Amino acid sequence: MSKQDEYTVIAGCGRLGANLANKLSEEGESVTIIDRNKDSFRKLSPSYSGISLTGDATDLGVLRDADIERASAVISVTNYDNTNIMIAQLAKRLFGIGRVIARLYDPEREFVYRELGIDTISPAVLSIQEIDKLLNKKAGDAE
Ligand code: AMP
């Protein structure tokens, strides 16, 4: 599938969601980003060519308005783990989306997602990995 055939729905236009939407849009993908606060869309770059949809991304009507049925990927990055779980579950179970990724602030709940076949990213886990890498690099430099 070429980038032009990909369609990604992102829930949450915070720092992470907006930057991701900008990047995918720059790469030529079709993108719809949903946020319940329309001021959040100010974070999108002027060159963002996707759709911005105001609404609660746990609302089935809003997801249908986002044309979620034809999405090749759904990425849920609101600031609430429970909201992200719910959106990811709807995307996977109800709409049959193959690639579903959710942000998880609490890494201890990762097993819930794994059981549901949902990929997760955890800022805490990613930060620990990066810090560990930097510490090892510094230790290597000092030798
Ligand atoms: P941040 O914490 O900067 O990554 O921002 C998270 C974003 O998720 C904020 O812009 C919130 O308005 C948005 N958000 C939170 N809950 C929902 C929801 N149920 N539907 C859509 N957007 C949401």
Query: Token pair 């959710």 is at which residue?
Result: 102
Nearest CA to ligand 1 atom 13: 12
Q: Whose CA is nearest to atom 9 of ligand 1?
A: 14
In CATH, 3-141 is 3.40.50.720:
yes
User: Taking CA 61 as the corner, what is the angle to CA 57 and CA 62, rounded to the nearest 5 degrees?
Assistant: 35
Task: Check residues 125 and 59 and name the one with the higher pLDDT.
Answer: 59
pTM of the model: 0.92
pLDDT 10s digits, 4-47: 689 999 999 999 999 999 999 999 999 999 999 999 999 999 99
Residue 115 — very low, low, confident or very high, per pLDDT cuts 50/70/90? Answer: confident
Regarding the beta carbon of 84 and ligand 1, being less than 6 Å apart is answered: no
Q: What is the pLDDT of residue 107?
A: 83
User: At residue 49, what are phi and psi to the nearest 5 degrees?
Assistant: -110, 10
Strand order in the sheet with 119-121: 51-54, 30-35, 7-11, 73-76, 99-103, 119-121
Q: pLDDT per residue over 84-106, tens digit each? A: 999 999 999 999 999 999 999 99
* Domain boundary assignment for the chain: 3-141
Instruction: Tell me how far apart the alpha carbons of residues 88 and 94 are, in angstroms, rounded to a whole number.
Output: 10
Residue 127 above 80 pLDDT? yes
Residue 1 scores a pLDDT above 70: no
